[in-house]
Amino acid sequence: MDKITMEGSAKTPELNFDASTGIFDLKGRSIPENSVEFYKPVLEWLDQYATEAQPKTVLNVQLEYFNTSSSKCILDLLKKFEKIAENSDVMINWHYESDDEDMQETGADYKEIIKVPFTLVEIED
């Protein structure tokens, strides 16, 4: 299975999901014109990965900002890891800047919803 990578831009996050290592990174800003279209191939890729997941899968999220439409897509993305957890030891690390209460609270909200190990990681300035 190939990895899926996208270079970050002012409106879209950097994405590096490597099926061979089971390490997935999502970072930057997520304010694409059409969030559903942007995340659709990623969600489809995760469905495929779930069928042949590595023994351990780690998602590192380090977003500085995302809009409302992205928040739904990010939740959908996180929910895919519940499916992956059926075949893999899954861990989600939600990184946030120490002075970014909104991103910390959002991570805490997602942690309550998603039923896989989920760690909030404070980044010191």
Q: Which pLDDT score is estimated for 97? A: 95
Q: Which pLDDT score is estimated for 12? A: 98
Give the whole-angstrom CA distance, residue 67 versus residue 112. Answer: 20
- Domains contained in the chain, CATH given: 4-123 (3.30.750.24)
pLDDT at 71 over 80: yes
pLDDT at 1 over 90: no
Q: What is the mean pLDDT of residues 21-33?
A: 97
pLDDT at 50 over 80: yes
pLDDT digits 0-9 by tens, 72-104: 999 999 999 999 999 999 999 999 999 999 999
Mean pLDDT across the chain:
97
pLDDT at 125 over 90: no
Q: Is the CA virtual torsion 74, 24, 106, 29 positive or negative?
A: negative
Cβ-based neighbour number of residue 81 at 10 Å: 25
Q: For residue 27, what are the β-bridge partners?
A: 14, 62
Q: What is the pTM of this model?
A: 0.96
Q: Which pLDDT score is estimated for 75? A: 98
